[in-house]
């Protein structure tokens, strides 16, 4: 058995109590289940030839919702709160934004950087 397989087996052994059976036919952790639910769109707009669309459950959730709701399904409010928390967590800090802007400015105004560009894309002409 290779090292990767041994690590997987070891992880499964240590985390077997954390795994739940999913209706999709797999065993995942509750954290993974909640993360998936919070980052996936729950409803899609369905036009069906009508002028005003109506929301319809995303096909990915049909297994989770029918014939009866899975015990691990989050409410729409919980999913929205989790999504908002994920968005706030991923917002870049002001320092990172300034560093990124400085790198971009350096790339655009430094002749040395411009001469490193491929000739077909070069923004500075060299003799």
- pTM of the predicted model, to two decimals? 0.56
**Strand, helix or coil for residue 17:** helix
How far is Cα 73 from Cα 84, in angstroms, rounded to an integer? 18
The size of the chain, in residues, is 127
Q: 80-97 pLDDT, tens per residue?
A: 888 888 777 777 777 888
Name the residue ranges covered by the structural domains of the chain.
Answer: 18-91, 92-127
Q: 30-42 pLDDT, tens per residue?
A: 988 888 888 877 8
What is the average per-residue pLDDT within 19-26? 86
What pLDDT shows up at residue 37? Answer: 84
Classify the C-alpha dihedral 115-118-123-127 as positive or negative: positive
Question: Comparing C-alpha atoms, which of 90, 86, 106 is closest to residue 98?
Answer: 106
In this prediction, residue 9 has a pLDDT band, given cuts at 50, 70 and 90, of confident
The overall average pLDDT reported for the chain is 81
């Amino acid at each position: 058995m290779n090292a990767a397989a041994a690590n997987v087996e070891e992880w499964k052994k240590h985390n077997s109590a954390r795994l739940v059976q999913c209706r999709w036919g797999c065993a995942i952790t509750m954290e993974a289940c909640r993360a998936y639910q919070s980052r996936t769109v729950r409803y899609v707009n369905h036009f069906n030839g009508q002028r005003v669309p109506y929301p319809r459950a995303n096909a990915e959730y049909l297994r989770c919702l029918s014939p009866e709701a899975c015990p691990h399904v989050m409410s729409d409010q919980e999913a929205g709160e989790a999504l908002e928390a994920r968005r706030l967590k991923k917002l870049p800090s002001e320092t990172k934004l300034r560093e990124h802007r400085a790198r971009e400015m350096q790339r655009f105004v430094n002749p040395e950087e411009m001469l490193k560009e491929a000739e077909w894309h070069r923004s500075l002409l060299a003799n």
